[in-house]
Amino acid sequence: MTEPLMEVTRLGVTAGGTRLVEDLDLTVHRGERLALVGESGSGKSVTARALMRLDPGLRLSGSVRFAGEELLAKSEAEMRRVRRDSMGMVFQDPLGSLDPLMTVGEQVAEPLRLGGLSKKAARVRAVEVLDELGVANAATRAGGYPHEFSGGMRQRVVIGIALAAEPELLIADEPTTALDVRVQEQVLTLLDRVSRERGLTVLLITHDLGIVAGFADRVAVMYAGRKVHDDPVGATFAGPAHPYTAGLLTAVPRIDRRPRRLTTIPGAPPHPRHRPAAACAFAPRCPHRKEVCGVEIPPARPTTAGGSVACHVYGTEVFA
């Protein structure tokens, strides 16, 4: 494993007195592709935005070290430079991420101009980036506006904006959510190719484990604002170490098996205001729960695959 690019330690995210993310530990190694997964409301996107410090209304605690520097100690001006030069982000709604009054070429060129390139040089580079990302006739299309592009092409433009300044880390927050299956595959194939060619480190935020197997090296699973499982992708699919991860996997359709009714996880995640203070938040939905699960938050323990799991029943005869 390569050296860490980002090390997150006991990250807490609070909004309006409500704790959205609690005690999150996460390490992203250089060149690694890490998938952060979980149901809606688990804290995935909030975590991504906290790492980039995009929401001034959020109160952050703990530590986020990027390339050896503490991001939570930086001023907003310093963070703008980090977001411009070192960290790029792809948002789940490409149309909402783009300025309808600016051409796509201007928007891809903007981080380059802020970095000191001339207007002409930035435009030339923007066209090169769009061409690299598969936008046909890029020199002409760069003069178009977002509403003139399809959803898949808009997502390519958003990826281009994130990659224009050649960052070290790309955070992709549900980049395929609003796209049909065929275009989802195109976008994931594009991210796979570009990340390999550039040696990019990628943090993929998704609720869909079906797109993780062919893309990620490692999977971190969040539930109710906490990380509950972290393992290599092969081990995660072959023998999930947490009942929640196992439940997510049973809900993924499989083309290599006879059609069957998908198994769902009963109930729903707790509202952030109603999470238990001293219990496993997943216990009410867990088929393997024990008495201790309702009275004690499980600590993180090592898994046999070299990851970590926060579960009282892991390794027991109940859930091996």
Q: Minimal CA–CA distance to 226: which of 264, 279, 284, 173?
A: 279
Strands 4-15 and 18-29: antiparallel
30 in Cβ contact with 5 (< 8 Å): yes
- The pLDDT score that the predictor gives to residue 257 is 65
Q: List the chain pLDDT tens, one digit each, 320 residues.
A: 678 999 999 999 999 899 999 999 999 999 999 999 999 889 999 999 999 999 999 999 999 999 999 999 999 999 999 998 899 999 888 888 899 999 999 999 999 998 888 999 999 999 999 999 889 999 999 999 999 998 889 989 999 999 988 899 999 998 887 677 778 888 888 888 888 988 899 999 998 888 888 899 999 999 999 999 999 999 999 999 999 999 999 877 666 666 567 778 889 999 999 998 889 999 999 999 999 999 999 999 999 999 999 999 998 766 65
Q: Are 213 and 35 in contact (CB under 8 A)?
A: no
Residue position matching structure tokens 């201007």:
106
Give the 3-state DSSP-derived string for 242-309, with helices as H, strands as E and coil as C: CHHHHHHHHCCCCCCCCCCCCCCCCCCCCCHHHCCCCCCCCHHHCCCCCHHHHCCCCCEEECCCCCEE
Q: Please give the Cα distance from 133 to 156 (Å, whole number).
A: 6
Name the residue with tokens 């952030």. Answer: 272
pLDDT at 256: 64
- Kindly state the tokens that stand for 290: 């024990």
Distance CA(77)–CA(13), nearest Å, equals: 21
> What pLDDT score was predicted for residue 262?
72
| Cβ contacts of 53 within 8 Å, gap of 6 or more | 60, 71, 72, 74, 76, 79
Counting Cα atoms < 13 Å in the Cβ hemisphere of 81 gives 6
* Residue 90, φ and ψ in degrees, nearest 5: -110, 120
Residue 27 is encoded by which pair of tokens? 């390490």
Please give the pLDDT value at position 179: 74
Identify the residue whose tokens are 């993310």.
Answer: 21
For residue 93, give every residue at least 6 positions away whose Cβ sits within 8 Å of its Cβ, in sequence order, or none: 177, 178
Total residues found in the chain within this entry: 320
